[in-house]
Amino acid sequence: MIESWRWYGEFDAITLPEVAQTGARGIVSALHAIPYGEVWPRDAIAARRKEIVAAGFDWVVVESLPVHERIKRGEGDLPQLFANYRQSMANLAAEGVTRICYNFMPLLDWTRTDLAAPVAGGAACLRFDAARMAAFEIHMLGRAAAEDDYLSEVRARAAVWFQRSTDAERAALVSAIMAGLPGAFDRYDVDGLRRALAAYDGIGRDALRTNYKRFLDEVVPAAEDLGILLCVHPDDPPRDILGLPRIVSDGDDLEWILRAADSPANGVTLCSGSLGANPGNDVPDIARRVAGRIHFAHLRNVRKDPDGSFEEAAHLDGDTDMVALMRVLLEEEARRAGEGRADHAIPFRPDHGHHMLSDLDRDLISGYPLIGRLRGLAELRGVARALAHG
């Protein structure tokens, strides 16, 4: 497996020389300053790649080449947006960058309510608290059908939190919910989010799937021609949220996507944390079901509560059996190597991580500390080495 590290370029306080000390060999990065839907210029791609290579790394995965919201909604000048996406893929391929992670989540990427929830021993983690999310949806956003999405005891705790919360605490909650979009151009306050959600009125699961199928039809043939591997990232959290449908949340969803464009170019980012937040998901089993089309892996763990809350656990300590999952990935690599494939190795990165030690005093991107991910990478490296020795 190719040990990799997500790096946000000019938005990242962690430097490439620091990353080099983790032992990672690959960099996962993107051009976060370019607005969604615009073409990524080849010279900008070349400059980013030159910077990465000069530091001793390979640029192994683009994360992400974003899908414009109009494509997800199926409205507006879609031919131009599809053409721009294909041109960006062509420019990446011309610079030797051929794995692209993306997602099809409406409006928001990963969603949390707490960016620094306390962890035993003094560290901090990302947390999704069902009661705070309910407080936001019901009492702050005023979404009409939100009460139907939460258990009665969660709604009760949400009301108490809202009544007792200060303006600063409510502002912090909004900021946390928006934090899953580092480098993105669209940020919403409560009124702006209401307007953005209104644009999705009438778009349910079937309509979103139809729009996704059109996207695949438009870009997968070009990916085949360019030698690019596309790998969709699962929903985070893997459930409908804010009244928006989520269609990449479990094994059945992933298998539908792979059938929708039955091509090796159409693959999966196996994110153990996103899938692991769904109590119905057996992550190692899902990995077995889609193993042949896993092009990239995010390895992290979560610990779930019965009310729908969850938080980031240490990489080997959450609800997902990480050893079993790593075994699936290594067996798939061995199968590919047995076929003589030069691209048999699967890039993976330690995803998220606890903020701890000196990272607590640094202004780092939420969920992407240095030391917490270093710990995760070391633990995952140990598991892989042990499994490789039988």
The pLDDT tens digits for 277-301 are: 999 999 999 999 999 999 999 999 9
- DSSP H/E element including 100: strand 99-103
- In 3D space, the residue among 244, 245, 220, 247 whose CA is nearest the CA of residue 231 turns out to be 220
83 CB contacts (<8 Å, ≥6 apart)? none
Q: Is there a contact between 228 and 99 (Cβ–Cβ < 8 Å)?
A: yes
Long-range contacts of 128-133 (CB under 8 A, 24+ apart): 128/237, 128/277, 128/309, 128/310, 128/311, 129/309, 130/154, 130/305, 130/307, 130/308, 130/309, 131/157, 131/158, 131/161, 131/307, 131/309, 132/158, 132/161, 132/173, 133/177, 133/241
* b/e code 330-356 from CB counts within 10 Å (16+ = b): bebbeebeeeeeeeeebbbbbbbbbbb
Dig out the tokens for 135 from the structure. Answer: 């407080």
Neighbouring-strand partners of residue 29: 62
Does 68 qualify as catalytic in the annotation?
A: no
Mean pLDDT, to the nearest integer, of 28-53?
97
Round to whole Å and give the CA distance between 126 and 353. Answer: 8
- In this prediction, residue 7 has a pLDDT band, given cuts at 50, 70 and 90, of very high
**Is the model's pLDDT at 182 over the cut of 80?**
no
Q: Is 354 part of the annotated catalytic residue set?
A: no
Q: State yes or no: cis peptide before 238, omega within 30 of 0.
A: no
Amino acid 356: pLDDT = 97
Supply the pLDDT for residue 76: 87
Q: Which residue in 271, 295, 354, 355 is the catalytic one?
A: 271
The SS3 call for residue 355 is strand
What is the Cα–Cα distance from 188 to 134, expressed in whole angstroms?
Answer: 18
> How big, in percent rounded to 5, are the helix, strand and coil portions of the chain?
45, 15, 40
Please give the pLDDT value at position 186: 62
Catalytic residue among 68, 295, 298, 355: 298
Average pLDDT over residues 377-386: 98
Segment 167-190 shows an average pLDDT of 81
Confidence check: pLDDT of 183 > 60: no
pTM exceeds cut of 0.85: yes
Give the active site residue among 12, 200, 212, 233.
233
**227: number of Cβ within 10 Å:** 11
Contacts of 127 (CB under 8 A, 6+ apart): 112, 113, 114, 117, 309, 310, 311, 312
| pLDDT confidence of residue 188 | 81
pLDDT above 70 (res 185): no
- Which pLDDT band holds residue 181 (cuts at 50, 70, 90)? low
Q: What is the pLDDT of residue 77?
A: 85
Tell me the CA distances in angstroms from 244 to 21, 63, 107, 146, one per residue in order.
Answer: 41, 23, 9, 11
First to last CA, the chain: 16
The answer to whether residues 52 and 16 touch, using CB atoms and an 8 Å cutoff, is yes
Active site residue 351: yes
Query: Encoding tokens for residue 71?
Result: 């494509």
CA angle 335, 257, 293 (to 5 degrees): 15
Is residue 334 scored above 90 in pLDDT? yes
Name all domains of the chain by residue range, CATH numbers in brackets: 2-111+198-388 (3.20.20.150), 125-183 (no CATH)
Q: How far apart are CA 65 and CA 63, in angstroms?
A: 6
Q: Which residue has the tokens 């309510």?
A: 113
- Which residue in 352, 354, 355, 359 is the catalytic one? 352
* pLDDT (tens digit per residue) in 205-260: 999 999 999 999 999 999 999 999 999 999 999 999 999 999 999 999 999 999 99
The span from the CA of 206 to the CA of 89, in Å, is 27
- In terms of C-beta density within 10 A (0-12 exposed, 13-18 middle, 19 or more buried), how is residue 390 classed? exposed
Q: Is 112 helix (H, G, I), strand (E, B) or coil?
A: coil
Q: Under 8 Å CB-to-CB from 52, ≥6 apart: which residues?
A: 7, 16, 27, 29, 58, 59
Tell whether the model's pLDDT for residue 184 goes beyond 60.
no
Average per-residue pLDDT for the chain? 95
User: Which amino acid is present at 28?
Assistant: V
Q: What is the DSSP string of 159-199?
A: HHHHHH--HHHHHHHHHHHHTT-TT-S----HHHHHHHHHT
Q: Is 282 annotated in the active site?
A: no
Catalytic choice (351, 354, 355, 359): 351
